[in-house]
Amino acid sequence: MAKRWAVGFASVGAAALLAACGTDTTDTTAGTTPAQDSATTEAPAAGYETAGDGNSVLDVAASESDFSTLVEAVEAAGLTEALATSGPITLFAPTNAAFDALPDGTLDQLLLPENQDVLRQVLTYHVVDGEVPASAVTTGDVPSASGETIALQVDDATGDVMVNQAMVTEADIQASNGIIHAIDQVILPPGLAL
Query: What pLDDT, in 10s, does the model give residues 122-144?
Result: 999 999 999 999 999 999 999 99
Asked, for residue 191, whether it belongs to a domain, the answer is no
Asked, for residue 120, whether it belongs to a domain, the answer is yes
Asked, for residue 188, whether it belongs to a domain, the answer is no
For the purposes of burial, counting CB atoms within 10 Å of the CB of 176, is it exposed (0-12), middle (13-18) or buried (19 or more)? middle
**Which carries the bigger pLDDT value, residue 34 or residue 70?**
70
pLDDT reported for residue 171: 96
**Which carries the bigger pLDDT value, residue 15 or residue 178?**
178
User: Has residue 27 got a pLDDT over 80?
Assistant: no
pLDDT averaged over every residue in the chain: 79
Asked, for residue 6, whether it belongs to a domain, the answer is yes
Q: What percent of the chain has pLDDT over 70?
A: 73
Asked, for residue 167, whether it belongs to a domain, the answer is yes
* Residue 78 pLDDT level (bands cut at 50, 70, 90): very high
- CA distances in angstroms from 14 to 3, 32, 66, 94, 165, listed in the order given: 15, 26, 24, 18, 24
- Assess contact for 65 and 71: CB atoms under 8 A: no
- Assess contact for 70 and 127: CB atoms under 8 A: no
pLDDT reported for residue 57: 95
Asked, for residue 91, whether it belongs to a domain, the answer is yes
Q: What is the CATH number of the domain that holds 87?
A: 2.30.180.10
Asked, for residue 42, whether it belongs to a domain, the answer is yes
Residue 167 main-chain phi, psi, to 5 deg: -95, 135
**Which carries the bigger pLDDT value, residue 193 or residue 46?**
193
User: Has residue 35 got a pLDDT over 80?
Assistant: no
Residue 63, helix vs strand vs coil: coil
Overall domain count for the chain? 1
Domain that holds residue 136: 2-183
pLDDT reported for residue 192: 84
pLDDT reported for residue 53: 56
Spatial distance between the Cα atoms of 127 and 75, rounded to a whole number of angstroms: 16
| 88: Cβ contacts below 8 Å, ≥ 6 apart | 21, 22, 129, 130, 131, 177, 178, 179
Asked, for residue 189, whether it belongs to a domain, the answer is no
User: Has residue 48 got a pLDDT over 70?
Assistant: no
